[in-house]
Amino acid sequence: MKRDILPIGSPELREVAPRVTDIHDPVIIAEAAALEEAIRTFRVQHGFGRAIAAPQIGIGKRMIGLALREWPAVIVNPEIVWTSDERITLWDDCMCFPDMLVRVERFASITLRFMDLDGRTHLRERLSRAEAELMQHEIDHLDGMLSFDRAVGRNPFVHRSVFEDNRAAFAREVDYFPQPM
């Protein structure tokens, strides 16, 4: 079941995704497979992408597809159960607007509770900055928020081509850099 990534401005990106109640439902299994396919396809086309939230492909469910080692391919009903006091700024990118980056502020670390597709509950404590910022970004999608909603500082938006041409300068503008892209 191939689904395209919704572009910025799509109304579905502003909806709050409800919790998944039955992970064994065949519809959920099919939608999880669609998430896995979407992230693989995007990575081939654009060369970046570590995760995708279900609403980004028009699936209104609290699920995230991941392309991270040592993580399940799909996590269900993720929730942040702890946040660090420290906050960081970084350049955030998104599959819904792959040609732009947005300077945002996020917690430096979080603890995340979620389920896998086998029904097991996991607790990942004090995530690294790379994992923490990623999960916060994806959970924002589940809550109908976009990076643009969290933009901070002067001139917080940059086209990817300008960013790539001036990486060192843009690195000096944030606390956390580089992030995997």
- Sheet with 100-107, side-by-side order of all strands: 87-93, 100-107, 157-159
Q: What is the pLDDT along the chain (181 residues), one digit of tens a residue?
A: 678 899 999 999 999 999 999 999 999 999 999 999 999 999 998 888 899 999 999 999 999 999 999 999 999 999 999 999 999 999 999 999 999 999 999 999 999 999 999 999 999 999 999 999 999 999 999 999 999 999 999 999 999 999 999 999 999 999 998 554 4
| Residues forming a β-bridge with 93 | 101
Architecture of domain 11-171: Alpha-Beta Complex (3.90)
Q: How far apart are CA 155 and CA 4, in angstroms?
A: 30
Catalytic sites, residue numbers: 138
The Cα–Cα gap between 137 and 20 comes to 19
pTM of the model: 0.94
The residues facing 80 across adjacent strands are 112
End-to-end alpha carbon distance in the chain: 26
Instruction: Report residue 106 as tokens.
Output: 């996020």
